[in-house]
Amino acid sequence: MLISIPVGCPFHKISEDFKPFDLSNPFPFYKKSRDEQPVFYSQELGYYVVTRYDDIKAIFSNWKTYTSENAQSSFKPMSPKAKQLMEVQGMIGLSGLSGRIPPDHTRIRRIVSMAFGLGRFKKLEPRIRALAIEMISQFKDDGHAEIIKQLAYDLPALVIFMLLGVPNEDVQQVKSWAESRLLITWGDLDEDQQLIHAQNMVNYWNYCQNLVALRKDTPSDDLPGDLVKLQAEGHEITDKEIAAVCYSQLFAGHETTTSLIGNGIRELLSHPESWQAICEDNTLIPNAIEEILRYSPSIVSWRRKALEDTVVGGVEIPAGSNLLLVMGSANRDETNFPETDTFDITRTNAKEHLSFGYGIHFCLGSPLAKLEFKTVLEEFTRLVPNLRLTQNQDFKFALNTSFRAPVALETEWV
């Protein structure tokens, strides 16, 4: 017989304490779950929730049993009208990579990796640095700044636009379309709102298809240009698959990186000795970024679906069940990270965090996200070394299951 591991009160269900959409401070609940019931069913979500490091890593590693096909499906079912609009455009089930499975996933990821290597990211570095300097210089003499609005939101979006080769004049339009993706998938919209956002997604999808068509006539030094070139050289990838990869990049690489910058600056300034240390020695920045990703991840949970009857942490999971893998908890699992609630930028195994996933879907853009934040920190510590948090701030976090970052971050300096 299979036994789950609960050690707390046998009549108390931990799921009653679970507040899946409130990410303001989920860490005490995560600890309680790891200690008492590391795998439990949430009635509210209709998901099995998994909170221990080893269980989550094992699930990420086993794509045959746990598919990622549900990773980006809407938590709330789409209204018939919105669904029909997207169906007509061939957008239902559309995924760049993260919702695909082998063999398609393997084939497409291999080709995208060729276009997405360190060479492409390194080429972007001087432009990222120039952008960071320009944005910081705009508020440097004010003595205060709201970091999300004045830096962290726009910078990663502009970098993705560089990667995709979106011209400056299209940036505002594309940005407003792309934001609809988050709202449709993780938000709580009524039918009319769904229809508006579905139309935006259709517009953005058509824009991406057009990006690919343009590269056929005029080669260009950007991601769609590289993928069209690889296709012409005989690599097996269709126009629609290239467009889908471009379509998903903006979402995959924008707000995730905004959150990294927001969480990171907040943690570094909340632990002023860490900020001081990176100001004095920039070589500490890369490991500090890993510790930020461990301690305060941009994405606290990600999804999988069980394809067969299985067992996780002693709990039976029937085929067809949805699972919510709480990486925000795995990263604080004391079996892997001693003194886990201490923010330590010199922690030697910080990089073992699961914030970029693990296994065949491991985040392809992680070097770019880290490069962006490293560049921002190098310039920030140089230009505004006496940066500090504005006192008495009440940090707010958007209501959703997975994306965690302060909505605003007020800072000041003299």
Distance of CA 169 to the CA centre of its chain: 26
Q: Kindly tell me which of 27 and 413 has the beta carbon lying closer to ligand HEM.
A: 27
Decide: is 60 part of the binding site for ligand HEM (CB under 6 A): yes
Figure out which of the listed residues 68, 200, 231, 381 binds ligand HEM, where binding follows CB under 6 A: 68
Q: Kindly tell me which of 82 and 160 has the beta carbon lying closer to ligand HEM.
A: 160
Q: Kindly tell me which of 96 and 406 has the beta carbon lying closer to ligand HEM.
A: 96
Three-state SS annotation for the chain = CCCCCCCCCCCCCHHHHCCCCCCCCCHHHHHHHHHHCCEEEECCCCEEEECCHHHHHHHHHCCCCEECCCCCCCCCCCCHHHHHHHHHCCCCCCCCCCCCCCCHHHHHHHHHHHHCCHHHHHHHHHHHHHHHHHHHHHHHHHCEEEHHHHHHCHHHHHHHHHHHCCCHHHHHHHHHHHHHHHHHHHCCCCHHHHHHHHHHHHHHHHHHHHHHHHHHHCCCCCHHHHHHHHHHCCCCCCHHHHHHHHHHHHHHHCHHHHHHHHHHHHHHHHCHHHHHHHHHCHHHHHHHHHHHHHHCCCECCEEEEECCCEEECCEEECCCCEEEECHHHHCCCCCCCCCCCCCCCCCCCHHHCCCCCCHHHCCCCHHHHHHHHHHHHHHHHHHCCCCEECCCCCCCECCCCCECCECCCEEECC
Phi, psi (rounded to 5 degrees) for 83: -65, -45
Q: Kindly tell me which of 305 and 361 has the beta carbon lying closer to ligand HEM.
A: 361
Decide: is 29 part of the binding site for ligand HEM (CB under 6 A): no
- In the shown chain, the binding pattern of residues 117 to 156 toward ligand HEM, with x for contact by CB under 6 A and - for none, equals ----------------------------------------
User: Contact region for ligand HEM (CB under 6 A) — 82-90, 227-235, 344-352, 353-361?
Assistant: 353-361
Pairing of strands 315-317, 322-325: unpaired
Q: Considering the complex, what minimum distance in angstroms separates the CB of residue 73 from ligand HEM? A: 13
User: Contact region for ligand HEM (CB under 6 A) — 20-28, 144-152, 305-313, 361-369?
Assistant: 361-369
Q: Kindly tell me which of 46 and 102 has the beta carbon lying closer to ligand HEM.
A: 102
Decide: is 97 part of the binding site for ligand HEM (CB under 6 A): yes
Decide: is 205 part of the binding site for ligand HEM (CB under 6 A): no
- In the shown chain, the binding pattern of residues 273 to 312 toward ligand HEM, with x for contact by CB under 6 A and - for none, equals -------------------------xx--x----------
User: Contact region for ligand HEM (CB under 6 A) — 95-103, 182-190, 314-322, 389-397?
Assistant: 95-103
Q: Kindly tell me which of 125 and 412 has the beta carbon lying closer to ligand HEM.
A: 125
Figure out which of the listed residues 34, 294, 361, 404 binds ligand HEM, where binding follows CB under 6 A: 361
Decide: is 364 part of the binding site for ligand HEM (CB under 6 A): yes
Decide: is 249 part of the binding site for ligand HEM (CB under 6 A): yes
Q: Considering the complex, what minimum distance in angstroms separates the CB of residue 196 from ligand HEM? A: 26
Which residue is nearest to ligand HEM, using beta carbons? 365
Q: Kindly tell me which of 82 and 337 has the beta carbon lying closer to ligand HEM.
A: 337
Site residue total, ligand HEM (CB under 6 A)? 29
For 60-84, give one letter per residue: b (16+ CB within 10 A) or e: beebebbbbbebbbebeebbeebbe
Figure out which of the listed residues 57, 109, 271, 294 binds ligand HEM, where binding follows CB under 6 A: 109
Q: Kindly tell me which of 82 and 332 has the beta carbon lying closer to ligand HEM.
A: 332
State the number of CA atoms in the 13 A half-sphere of 174 facing the CB: 27
Which positions lie near ligand HEM, rule CB under 6 A?
Answer: 60, 68, 71, 96-98, 109, 160, 249, 252-253, 256-257, 260, 298-299, 302, 355-359, 361-365, 368-369
